[in-house]
Copies of this chain bind each other. A is one copy, B any other.
Amino acid sequence: MARTAGSHAETTGPRVREAAQRLIARHGYAAVSMRQIAAEVGVQAGALYLYTPDKQTLLYDLMRLHMEELLATVEALPPLDDPRAALDRFARFHIGHHLDRPEAVFIAYMELRNLTPENFAAIEALRRRYEEGLAAILRDGVARGAFALPDLRLATRAIIAMLTGVTHWFRDMGPMGRDEVAACYAEMVLKTVAAP
């Protein structure tokens, strides 16, 4: 991966984040060294500090960018009036979006404990904003008689845990395609909260 010296500011910054994302997803934040990331990019370790003040900020930026993209995408969806249609779309969106970004999802899930308290709080706030989007769908469905839940907050977390679980085992070479998997999960989620 060695390369000769030169100026590549425009491309090196993103490549640092891409390399960090790939390595951290595979080996974990604490186990990945700045030297490994630099080798993956093709620069020396010291050069990384032109693009991030330190290793912690590199991790924080990966997680923040992931959550901001997730929120921007879901909040840009046109509203749906029918609660069942909204929940069905949410389930399929969540699975599809997460299966398209396995590395970022894995990091967002596994590396929370390696954030400083301030950075953790910022990521947690974004995560709660996403959760609230699902809670709003469920709340509306209950109010309109389409859904029945023992507890709104529990149901919200249960559904997100169920849907995110797909990323732990799904492989593109497996027996089911991602649309088929998403359809199965959407069906189960709807049953979970359906009114009798």
Contacts and interface: CB of A to CB of B under 8 A. Distances in A.
B151 A162 contact: no
Contacts of A161: 161-162, 164-165, 168
A176 interface: yes
Given A155-B188, A194-B191, A114 B28 contact: yes
Copies in the complex: 2
A167 to B, nearest CB: 10
Interface residues of A, number: 35
Contact of A30 (B28, B162, B183): B28
Interface string A26-50: 1110110000000000000000000
Contact of A113 (B27, B113, B164, B185): B27
Nearest to A175: B153
Interface of A: 26-28, 30-31, 110, 113-114, 149-151, 154-155, 157-162, 164-166, 168-169, 176, 181, 183-185, 187-188, 191-194
